[in-house]
Amino acid sequence: MPDRISPPRITRRLGSLFQSSLFRAIPTAAGVILLNFALLQMVPGDAVDALVAEAGSASAETTALLRQQYGLDKSSWLQFGDYLNQLAHLSLGDSPRYGLPVLDVILQRLPNTLLLMGLALTLSLVAGVVIGVVMALWKGKWPDRVLSSLAFVLYSTPGFWVGLMAIVLFAVKLDWLPSGGDGTVGAGLTGIDKFVDKLHYAILPALTLSSFFIAIYARLTRASVLEVLTHDYVRTAQAKGLSSWQITVRHVLRNALLPLTTVAGTHLAGLLGGAAVAETVFGWPGIGRLTLEAVQAREYKVLLGILLLSSLLVIAANLLIDWLHGRLDPRIADRSRGIEP
Amino acid sequence: MSHSSPTPTLERPRPASARPATQPVNHWRQQLGSTLLGRFAAKGRLPADDSGHFPLSEPRHRWPVLRSLSRSPAALIGFSVLLLIVIVALSASYLYPGDPLDMAGAPLLTPGEDWQFPLGTDALGRDLAAGLAHGARVSLMVGVTAALVSVLIGTLVGALAGYFGGRVDRVLGWLIELFQTTPSFLLVVVVVSITQSTIGIIAVVIGLTSWDTVARLVRAEFRALLNADFVLAARTVGYSTRWIIFREVLPNALPPIIITASVIVASAILTESSLSFLGVGDPNKISWGSMIGTGRDMLRSALYLTAIPGIALVTTVFCLNLVGDALISALNPRLRGRAS
Amino acid sequence: MNAAAPFNQPGQALLRVRGLKVSYGDFEAVKGVSFDVAPGETLALVGESGCGKSTTAMAIMRLLGGRALISGEVGFDGRNLAQISDQDMRDLRGNDISMVFQDPMTSLNPVLAIGEQISEVLRRHRGLSRIEARAEALKLLKRVRIPNAEARLDDFPHNLSGGQRQRVMIAIAVACNPRLLIADEPTTALDVTVQAHILQLLKELSQEYAMGLLLITHDLGVVGQWADRVAVMYDGRIVEEGSTEDIFTAAQHPYTQGLLGASLRLDSDSHYARVSLPEINVQRGANGQIRFDLDSHARTVTARDADASAQPILELRHLSTAYKTRQGTVTAVRDVSLRIATGETLGLVGESGCGKSTLSKTILGLVKASAGQVLLNGVDIAGLDERRLRSHRPFVQMVFQDPYGSLNPKHSVYRILDGVLKTHGEKSAQARSERIFDIIHRVGLPPSAVWKYPHEFSGGQRQRVGVARALILRPSLVILDEAVSSLDVSVRAQILNLLADLKQEFGLSYLFISHDLSVVKYMADRVLVMHDGQIVEEGGHDLWQNARHDYTRKLIGSVPVPRYAPADEESVPYANPAWQTVPLAVLLSRIAI
């Protein structure tokens, strides 16, 4: 009968870890809000100017009166207070062009972008890690050289160009995949069928978006695996007589992939930017394309709403990643958190 | 053998029992020196010349970094191509005077069709080659400016945070975290559309969104270096803080900064091209991205309109990355002899 | 599986190594090595860094990686391990032959629980189920005397101390009852008191399981106390081999004699004031032959004026240093008072974490003292700011432990020394150059060394540069903080001789800090023992025989001392009662460190 074994103390550690992550996230979120407000203030002209422009012209007194009415003549501090109040009520203002609250406009498109980003992230992680491991294990031999060169080229290519060339190859020449849009028009699909159809259209944009990151994760994994292979515990594992497979998976990979989680967090912001480009190239109706539309229409509220929401999204995702990292690396929980270099 | 005892310039209270240094040097020390140091063991005499003057500088070759770089074929190729691009960029106004956005010839000439326009023309009859040359100038200018801005701000912030620690570190760390969380591309788009869309502003704004990487790096380096033994030793000797930072810490922190700078140049060029592609760039200047953007409508019919500027773009960034990679091995004295 | 193998007849060696060669491309690390290990016997493979002892051990286990070319015979169980297939070798590793490595901090996988790492080897070779393996792992943890073993099963390596981690490594190694255990410097990274326990454990286990133990080490004290037979290696070859008694009492080869002479022992009476340490002079002849010469001479240190009323060079009065960490305030130095007279060498002994480094940093003003005074030549420098402190700096300098880390890798030696002189007012470039070449000469380096960069030197040479830097300002007091701890025995002897000679030449006073009692015994005139931030004992040469404080006795008792003394050396028979009680104390003790 085995001795009674006490349960691991992981659960206790996670609670305090999550608290400290949260603790760090709040000032960052506050900073994001502050930044957005500052940018809002920088916008040339305001709502009243827009109204006046539409009306043709107005006297100075009318303009001043209108400002007073809309509360736009208050000091910056008070305006900031108004802004916070507005945020607390989960409102980002209204969009005249779309005739809807800004938040609604954004939320309409957000799921599409999230789908795209999710697909791209998964693809780049899986492909990147596999390629990176292959490169590391065959270091110096031809698989490594070929893959490294390919990764290098991919890493140097802008996403939009990859997208365009992908369209030329897959959509035009081979006709395997659609060249744009998010669903077959006029097919009247619903439910699961609609989703599958959507996925079909998401493949090329996701591939485009992930291209840069596949290269990065491949190089990172390669470097990480090569570094871990020099660590002493790998030698200990060999001294135990374990098989290569056991050593690679249990000892090497479990440690080599840790830095990836930290890095993946910093790439989320980059993914959002890349999504803007990929969505434009493929006509994918997400918030990236919305950004471009808003720029062209000078819809600053929408623009800043997107900026704010995406920053908050990145903060939330980073919290998740911190939690994941804490689960994977038991050393983290016992270190007090500062800013990781 | 004997040697003169040097007179110290500072007076030091000498313990009464001290003996003057007139002991003959034991022969074993010389033997030890020659065995341990092998080929560069001298005869053991002090290297004063006939007039009693001592050498003040080293009699051997310098610039180990450049020598190491010149041995890597990848670095050489990358560097030469980059040099070519820089030359083309600088001489763009001479090679292709006038505004590249002006119509120059018949529209939609394919490359090689008319020898006046070796790379062809676009739908509006603009010369592709002129566009490439002027576009090179734009890309490089944006890349270098953005890198300079981020390195300057990032190094300053990172150094202050790493040096002072404590509250200063926390505040600056918050600032770094803020810029790291905000999606940089979106931020650039927003700021550029709020202000003006000119090359200068684009370059500076891209720099303002990339400094956080440099700052984190510099902060980590400073923190590690300031605790290193040789810095402690420097403090023991009594060097001033300024001396320590500039002479001891910075030279060791510089290599990663240089490498990051090369990465930022590459990524700034990519960002600028994405901006121009989307139509958010400077409308008065031609850029490789804008060329690809206008050529996009004719993807199926006139592929060369997107392919040629695309290849130029990829080549430039590729060479920058080659040089950056070579720098990583060259700047680490322990890796200098070996290939990665 | 591991029952007494049919090949293991009495008298037959467990491991038979014949003509083992290991080469990496052109470079031959091991040049033909032969030795035997009998069951239940401990063979020590001794040598300095770079001699090939670790490479030999790794070659036996075939852990060297693809670039190494192994030839020769490694006879085990009637097979030649150098030639069997990879799969066969994997079946042997961890099962019939096990290895314990040097650094317990990095030898365990940081993301797997302890229990998992032990179970792993049991499941691999014994085919146990998860639950069975876990129960067996628990038994093993108890066997290696880890307290609170049940809780430890799910802990991670970073939750354990260095000594405990090494015990876990040993548990992993003996899990499947191997017949041969190879221990590569198993205690080098551990404190002296922990070291004794670990070696005791290894010995017990080897007797209990009738294992052969191949012990790789550079520490002759360990060899003398624990090994049955010794093989001495140099430059990839075994230069001498024999029983421990023979080697220690009647070594034949000059290199062995040099090593023995240069190894400081707690039970010998040699002191820097009377005799210099023998230095091994290696010369390579034209035909590749190596000649060893030993060089040693007597030394007479003129008795210094033992004037008690004269002002001490350094006096600390109730010095305390505390600093804030995440866990709260830590007082590293508590109420320390000491005096160093002019021309004296004061030794400071303590294990890691006792506060000795913080103490030296406080004296130098690198760390702010929280209370007390630091009187340098009568002037209190404890509270001075950097600017006012600078004028005092030339009086006291430090030589650091790590020859790699204490020199700026980007500066040539000339630049390093030039900067020191420039800062302290030497304006003429010619005068600076002259002083630089002079000091380099005095520390025994050739003039061309001046243009080299730190990474081009060996450890001992770098330490000479460190000494040059400390001495170029002609200080009165030099603090030597573990200055010889990272050096090989023979290099250490050279540096200690250099330090003793320079002390006499320049009339220096030393504060010699080390965890190594034997070195302190040789180098110091008076000794202080530090523990947990406080000075617990102070004394002269009588300290070693009649220590009063418990901690001091424990410390002295833990130092491995060879069982045999060389016949021709005058040595005082070592009779500290603490030493004899240590084995008993260890057996009864339930406190594993």
Check whether B7 has a pLDDT greater than 70: no
Contact list, A255 vs chain C (CB under 8 Å):
109-111
pLDDT at residue C92 in the model: 92
CA B19 to chain A, closest CA, distance in angstroms equals: 51
Highest-confidence segment of B35-39, C234-238, C426-430: C234-238
Tell me, yes or no, if A60 comes closer than 8 A to chain C by beta carbon.
Answer: no
CA nearest to B325 within chain A = A152
Do C131 and A240 make contact, defined as CB atoms within 8 angstroms? no
Q: What is the mean pLDDT of chain A?
A: 82
Can you tell me whether residue B280 is helix, strand or coil?
coil
The HSE-up count of residue C68 (CA atoms within 13 Å, CB side) is: 20
Please give the full DSSP string across B39-64, using - where no structure is assigned: GG---S-----TTSPPP-S-SS---H
Q: Tell me how many residue pairs between chain A and chain B have CB atoms under 8 A apart.
A: 142
Q: What is the pLDDT of residues C274-286, one digit of tens each?
A: 888 888 877 777 6
pLDDT at residue C66 in the model: 79
pLDDT at residue B53 in the model: 61
Contact list, C173 vs chain A (CB under 8 Å):
239
pLDDT at residue B38 in the model: 33
In this prediction the ipTM stands at 0.83
Q: Which of C281, C343, C405 sits opposite B15 (nearest CB)?
A: C343
CA A83 to chain B, closest CA, distance in angstroms equals: 19
Rounded Cα–Cα distance for residues B270 and B139 (Å):
9
Q: Which of A158, A274, A314 sits opposite B181 (nearest CB)?
A: A314
Share above pLDDT 90 across residues of chain B, in percent, rounded to a whole number: 26
Please give the full DSSP string across C275-320, using - where no structure is assigned: BPPPEEEEEE-TTS-EEEEEE--B--PPPP---TTSPPSEEEEEEE
Contact list, C305 vs chain B (CB under 8 Å):
16-17
Rounded Cα–Cα distance for residues A146 and A134 (Å):
11
Contact list, B190 vs chain A (CB under 8 Å):
39, 303-304, 307
* Contact (Cβ atoms closer than 8 angstroms) between residue A277 and residue B278: yes
pLDDT at residue B40 in the model: 34
**Mapped to the 3 state alphabet, what secondary structure does C59-90 carry?**
HHHCCCCCCEEEEEEEEECCEECCCCCHHHHH
Check whether A2 has a pLDDT greater than 70: no
Residue C37's pLDDT band, with cuts at 50, 70 and 90, is very high
Rounded Cα–Cα distance for residues B234 and C386 (Å):
13
* Contact (Cβ atoms closer than 8 angstroms) between residue B90 and residue B137: yes
Q: What is the pLDDT of residues C101-112, one digit of tens each?
A: 988 889 999 999
Do C94 and A251 make contact, defined as CB atoms within 8 angstroms? no
pTM (2 decimals)? 0.81
Query: C293: exposed, middle or buried (C-beta count within 10 Å: 0-12, 13-18, 19+)?
Result: middle
pLDDT at residue C16 in the model: 92
| Other Cβ atoms within 10 Å of A11 Cβ, number | 8
Can you tell me whether residue B303 is helix, strand or coil?
coil
CA C329 to chain A, closest CA, distance in angstroms equals: 16
Contact list, A230 vs chain B (CB under 8 Å):
none
Can you tell me whether residue C513 is helix, strand or coil?
strand
Tell me, yes or no, if C487 comes closer than 8 A to chain B by beta carbon.
Answer: no
At C135, the amino acid letter reads A
Q: What is the pLDDT of residues C120-134, one digit of tens each?
A: 999 999 999 999 999
Do C63 and A255 make contact, defined as CB atoms within 8 angstroms? no
Beta bridge partners of C35: C17
Residue C553's pLDDT band, with cuts at 50, 70 and 90, is confident
Beta-strand relationship, C534-539 and C526-531: antiparallel
CA B329 to chain C, closest CA, distance in angstroms equals: 15
Residue B58's pLDDT band, with cuts at 50, 70 and 90, is low
Six-digit token string for B171: 């505040």
At C397, the amino acid letter reads Q
- C518 vs C306, more confident: C518
Q: Which of C61, C132, C138 sits opposite A239 (nearest CB)?
A: C61
Q: Which of A160, A270, A295 sits opposite B193 (nearest CB)?
A: A295
Six-digit token string for C336: 């320390």
pLDDT at residue A177 in the model: 78
pLDDT at residue B283 in the model: 87
Between the CA atoms of A39, A44, A45 and A50, what dihedral angle is there, to the nearest 10 degrees? -100
Between the CA atoms of A154, A157, A160 and A163, what dihedral angle is there, to the nearest 10 degrees? -30
Q: Which of B174, B289, B313 sits opposite A28 (nearest CB)?
A: B174
pLDDT at residue C70 in the model: 92
CA nearest to B191 within chain A = A39
Chains sharing 3 or more CB pairs under 8 A with chain B:
A, C
The residues in B 58-77 lying below 8 A from A, measured between CB atoms, are: none
- In this predicted structure, which of B287-291, C123-127, C161-165, C304-308 has the lowest mean pLDDT? C304-308
pLDDT at residue B44 in the model: 41
Do A39 and B195 make contact, defined as CB atoms within 8 angstroms? no
Q: How many angstroms separate the first and last alpha carbons of chain B?
A: 48
Rounded Cα–Cα distance for residues A324 and B214 (Å):
26
**Dihedral of alpha carbons C149, C155, C156, C159, sign:** negative
| Residues 6 or more apart in contact with residue C37 via CB below 8 angstroms | C13, C14, C15, C43, C180, C212, C213, C214
Do B181 and A318 make contact, defined as CB atoms within 8 angstroms? yes
| Other Cβ atoms within 10 Å of C10 Cβ, number | 6
Rounded Cα–Cα distance for residues A232 and A251 (Å):
11
Q: What is the pLDDT of residues C205-245, one digit of tens each?
A: 988 888 999 999 988 888 988 999 999 999 899 999 999 99
Q: Which of C302, C377, C433 sits opposite B56 (nearest CB)?
A: C433
Rounded Cα–Cα distance for residues B1 and B24 (Å):
6
Tell me, yes or no, if B274 comes closer than 8 A to chain A by beta carbon.
Answer: yes
The CA-based angle A277-A279-A284, given to 5 degrees, is 170
Query: A129: exposed, middle or buried (C-beta count within 10 Å: 0-12, 13-18, 19+)?
Result: buried
Tell me, yes or no, if B220 comes closer than 8 A to chain A by beta carbon.
Answer: yes
Q: What is the mean pLDDT of chain C?
A: 85
Check whether C117 has a pLDDT greater than 90: yes
Q: What is the pLDDT of residues B146-187, one digit of tens each?
A: 999 999 999 999 999 988 888 899 999 999 999 988 999 999
Rounded Cα–Cα distance for residues A85 and A77 (Å):
12
Rounded Cα–Cα distance for residues C410 and C456 (Å):
12
**What phi and psi values does residue C76 have, to the nearest 5 degrees?**
-145, 125
Rounded Cα–Cα distance for residues B103 and B123 (Å):
10
Q: What share of chain A is helix, strand, coil (3-state, %, to 5)?
A: 75, 0, 25
Do C90 and A6 make contact, defined as CB atoms within 8 angstroms? no
Per-residue pLDDT, averaged over A119-144, amounts to: 91
Q: What is the pLDDT of residues B197-249, one digit of tens each?
A: 889 999 999 999 999 989 998 998 888 888 888 888 888 888 888 888 888 88
Beta bridge partners of B100: none
CA B289 to chain A, closest CA, distance in angstroms equals: 9
Per-residue pLDDT, averaged over A6-26, amounts to: 64
Do C124 and A241 make contact, defined as CB atoms within 8 angstroms? yes
The CA-based angle A210-A213-A219, given to 5 degrees, is 140
Rounded Cα–Cα distance for residues A128 and A261 (Å):
13
Tokens 């790794």 sit on residue: C58
Residue A9's pLDDT band, with cuts at 50, 70 and 90, is low
Q: What is the pLDDT of residues C7-27, one digit of tens each?
A: 444 557 889 999 999 999 888
